[in-house]
Amino acid sequence: MPSRRSMIGGLGGLMAGLMMPAPLVARAPTRPPRLRPGDVVGLIEPASFSDDLLQLEGVKAVVAGMGLVPRLGRHVATRYGYLAGTDEQRAADINAMFGDSAVRAIFAVNGGWGSARLLPHLDWDRIRANPKLLIGFSDVTALHLAFAARAGFPTLHAPNAANGWYETSWDSFWRLAFAGEAPLFQPPETLGPDVEGADGSPRVATIRPGTARGRLIGGNLSVLATLVGTPWLPDFEGAILFLEDVNEAEYRIDRMLNQLALAGVLGKVAGVIFGQCTRCASRLPGYIGFTVPQLLDQYIRPLGVPAFRGANIGHIADQLCLPVGAEVEMDGRGSIRVLEPITA
């Protein structure tokens, strides 16, 4: 089997070149199969379209560089307005991948907008009967949350197939998906150059000290907030909530955190991990409003639960892969420990 280091090097070279819900059913937790070199994996577009065939060839090459065999969904490269096909077409690709016994895992090609529109069209009985890793982030958060509510097995908040797969992303993905480990993730010592405001200061800042255990649930704050009040949001009682976002003004972060507070979501959690809010800081001269760290102090600190901000999660070049729906332990100093393997 290729080493992790050799795969990282190969991926670096490749990247340089490039609506009614199903009823809830009580069931024992299941685990998706572990990935092995040579496994077939599906490529889907649950949200925005990509009609650049050269880019898609690059995506396939990246997946092949992981030692996997990419298989395009039938409607990948289809366009319907700003979406990659109609809701029924995009959902059909997901249903088909979960029904195909040859496919071991499923990558979203990209995010954008549109994943939440699929939720009523997914075959939840088929999905529950065929656990497979669903991999992606950003708008794919809608799928992660719905799977956490209804599928009964973990998914992976990780780069989309069209994004960069650098060392931290690949290493954490390999440990979770290929090796079947239950890893401890420690925060990098300093901010990376792609993180807004990077100046060599510590990446992680404690909001509240302490240790907490719970089911890891979260993703993109904007997407999560839009699912409040719908049947697709999982129960956050005792959960470890993780959040990230991109291109959102501070007042919109304020509004969304307030929505989670008023809806009772924040009051249920056992711990909070806030990743990167990329391009969220106002650049207006003389700006005197709240900053994102100040908003986190206002909304998260009063919860009295362990919390930290600055995790390498979100719209950054080398993000950490995290298992949505898995049991984890976190502490306010920035560590995240997965408590049991997510693949079988």
Which domains can be identified in the chain, with CATH numbers? 4-16+34-178 (3.40.50.10740), 184-338 (3.50.30.60)
Residue bearing tokens 């909070």: 272
Share of the chain above pLDDT 70, in %: 88
Residue-wise pLDDT tens digits, 51-98: 788 889 999 999 999 999 999 999 999 999 999 999 999 999 999 999
Instruction: Calculate mean pLDDT across residues 189-204.
Output: 56
Token readout for 264 is 């009772």
Residue 13, amino acid: G
Contact 289, 258 (CB under 8 A): no
pTM of the model: 0.90
The pLDDT score that the predictor gives to residue 180 is 97
Whether 6 has a pLDDT exceeding 80, the answer reads no
**Strand duo 103-108 + 155-157: pairing:** unpaired
Residue-wise pLDDT tens digits, 330-342: 999 999 999 999 9
**Cα(312)–Cα(44) distance, rounded to whole angstroms?**
25
Detail the DSSP E strand segments found in 34-128: 40-44, 69-72, 103-108
Establish how many alpha carbons lie within 13 A of residue 290's alpha carbon, considering only the half-sphere containing its beta carbon. Answer: 15
Instruction: Calculate mean pLDDT across residues 5-22.
Output: 41
Catalytic residues: 138, 244, 315
Q: What share of the chain is helix, strand, coil (3-state, %, to 5)?
A: 30, 20, 45
The pLDDT score that the predictor gives to residue 319 is 95
Q: What is the mean pLDDT of the chain?
A: 90
Residue-wise pLDDT tens digits, 282-315: 999 999 999 999 999 999 999 999 999 999 999 9
The pLDDT score that the predictor gives to residue 30 is 86
The pLDDT score that the predictor gives to residue 54 is 84
